[in-house]
Structure 1
Amino acid sequence: MITEDVRKARQKLVLDHFRDEVRQDWDDVLSTFPHPHYELIPTMTVHDGQGEVRGYYHDSRVAFPDQDHEIIALRHSDDAVIAEFWLLGTHLGPLGAIPPTGNRFRVRMTAYFIFDAEENLVCERIYFDTLTLLKQLIGGLDLRNPRNWVLAARCVRGLLKTSSDKPHPALTRTTPPAFAD
């Protein structure tokens, strides 16, 4: 079991991390990790190290420059802080191969902020429902308006391209834990 002091220190780190992401102060966000590491489970992608994580930050803020969050709850486990939150923003730039739609989104997410035995943040592992996000980004297009048909076709093409990406092996080659009786 973690102590109250450890719980408070972890919670402060996680809340600072969230705040600095909204401020887009990437140096401060990165300082919360000794080695930045993100795992996005819905897209089966990993961003490991300063360069890859900065690229992830850049790409996500090109797609959603006004990205923000509303924290629902923080929960603590022996090795993690689990954050439940709403992520929201406006799709103003490309999201990978999906062109900007100008639509707003609000998606419920969970992030596991995982700590090692020395209390270093070693991973932020994010879970969310991609269909909920895509329904808001693409489903909001008025297809009765012929001006949106080309954009809708480009979005579908982008989705198909994205769906052909191979999952990161670290997320598919997992080892089941050994449970004690």
Structure 2
Amino acid sequence: MTAYVLPPEDVLRAREKLVLDHFHDEVAHQWDEVLATFPHPHYELIASMTVHDGDAAVRGYYRDTRTAFPDQDHEILALRHTADAVVVEFWLTGTHLGPLGKIPPTGGRHRTRMTAYFLFDEHENLVTERIYFDQLTVLKQLLATLNKKNPKDLLTLTRALLGAASTAGTPPDPRLLTT
């Protein structure tokens, strides 16, 4: 596959269907179906420079993010094809009802614009979902709903900021540093 030649229309349509099914099954929390879209599940979150590789790691990622945002949903804005990928621009939405790593639940909602690259190999297998977004945009929205005059909300704000700061020194996954 060369970088300048798109695959035939039937291949593009098959990729698009797989990606749309993937999104649908994520919202429905049908993890077996989502994982079946990959021969080997592999997510790369560029904002946090983390990788979730393999069935157990990706299921853990789903568990953690859906504990934090049980109503997580997607609003797809655009879908584009490249020689080896489907690129999806979307809004990710959700209500922060559970811990997000070390950040306690705030009850706040977020609506964050993101881009996901669904990368395919030469055999048309989905090999990676690579997601780009701004973590600060999410955090800012989650914290904005806290009442800074309420002692309970001030405690939550303090814990959330300490939790966010504790991840700032986390080293990036080395697989994301070599290109």
Which residue among 28, 32, 35 is the counterpart of 2:37? 32
1:153 — aligned with what?
158
Q: Which residue of 2 aligns with 1:63?
A: 68
Alpha-carbon deviation of 1:147? 2.6
Matches within 5 A, 1:1-12: 1-12=6-17
Contact 2:108 2:144 in 1 (8 A): no
2:93 maps to 1:88: yes
The amino acid across from 1:57 in the alignment is: Y
Map of 1:140 onto structure 2:
145
Offset, 1:170 = 0.7
Q: Secondary structure at the match of 1:167?
A: coil
Residue 148 of structure 1 deviates from its aligned partner by 1.3
Give the structure 2 partner of residue 23 of structure 1.
28
Report the AA paired with residue 66 of structure 2: R
Task: Please state how far the C-alpha of 1:55 moved relative to its aligned partner.
Answer: 0.3
Structure-2 separation of matches of 1:65 and 1:147: 23
Q: 1:111, CA displacement in angstroms?
A: 0.1
Whether the 8 Å contact between 2:76 and 2:88 is mirrored in structure 1 is yes
Distance 1:92 1:49 in 2: 27
1:167 aligns with 2:172: yes
Gaps of at least 5 residues in structure 1 are 175-181
Q: What value does the CA root-mean-square deviation take over the aligned residues?
A: 0.8
Q: Deviations over 1:33-80 (max 9, x none)?
A: 000000000000000000000000000000000001110010000000
Q: Which runs of 4+ in 1 moved over 2 A?
A: 144-147
1:149 CA drift (Å) = 1.2
Percent identity of paired positions between Structure 1 and Structure 2:
64
Q: Does 1:112 align with 2:117?
A: yes
Equivalenced residue count is: 174
